[in-house]
C-alpha cells in the first residue's frame, strides 16, 4: 500500500456557496470520509483556513525569518487535504474522483515519495 495525498484546490477570492449549498457539500464530504473509513483506506483529512492565516518561516544566514503568509500568491490555494492508503494510482484516482464530486472542487492526487 502507498500513501497518497488528495489535495483540495480552492479558488481564491469569490464568495463561498450559499448556506444551503454549503450544507449539502459538507454532508457529501462527511459521507465521503465515512466511505474512506469503511474501506480501510482513510488515514487523515481536514480543511484549512484561508492562506491569509498562514505564517511562513524561511531559513536565512543561519536564522529563521518569520513573515505573515501566504508563501505564494496565486489564483488557487490548498483548501484541505485527505491522506489515504491505496494499492495503486488507479485506486487513488478513484478516491480522488469521489472527493471531487463530494467537494465540487478540483482534487490533486499525489503519491508520497518512498512511503509505503
Cell 505573515, residue?
Answer: 68
- Looking at residue 116, what is its pLDDT? 56
- Looking at residue 74, what is its pLDDT? 86
60, β-bridge pairs: 63
Place 73 in a pLDDT band, splitting at 50, 70 and 90.
Answer: confident
Domains, the chain: 2-111 (3.30.70.1060)
Number of neighbouring beta carbons within 10 Å of residue 5:
18
Angle in degrees, CA 111, 69, 100, rounded to 5: 40
pTM: 0.90
Place 45 in a pLDDT band, splitting at 50, 70 and 90.
Answer: very high
- Looking at residue 115, what is its pLDDT? 60
SS3 of the chain: CEEEEEEEEEECCCCCCCHHHHHHHHHHHHHHHHHHHHHCCEEEEEECCCHHHCEEEEEECCEEEEEECCCCCCCEEEEEEEEEEECCHHHHHHHHHHHHHHHCCCEEEEECCCCC
- Looking at residue 53, what is its pLDDT? 93
- Looking at residue 72, what is its pLDDT? 80
Amino acid at each position: 500500500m502507498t500513501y497518497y495525498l488528495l489535495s483540495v484546490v480552492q479558488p481564491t477570492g469569490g464568495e463561498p456557496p450559499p448556506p444551503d449549498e454549503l450544507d449539502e457539500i459538507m454532508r457529501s464530504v462527511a459521507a465521503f470520509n465515512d466511505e474512506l473509513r469503511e474501506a480501510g483506506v482513510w488515514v487523515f483529512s481536514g480543511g484549512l483556513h484561508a492562506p491569509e492565516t498562514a505564517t511562513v518561516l524561511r531559513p536565512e544566514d543561519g536564522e529563521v525569518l518569520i513573515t505573515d503568509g501566504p508563501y505564494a500568491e496565486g489564483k488557487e490555494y490548498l483548501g484541505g487535504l485527505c491522506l489515504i492508503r491505496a494499492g495503486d494510482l488507479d485506486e487513488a484516482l478513484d478516491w480522488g474522483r469521489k472527493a471531487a464530486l463530494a467537494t465540487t472542487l478540483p482534487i490533486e492526487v499525489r503519491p508520497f515519495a518512498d512511503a509505503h
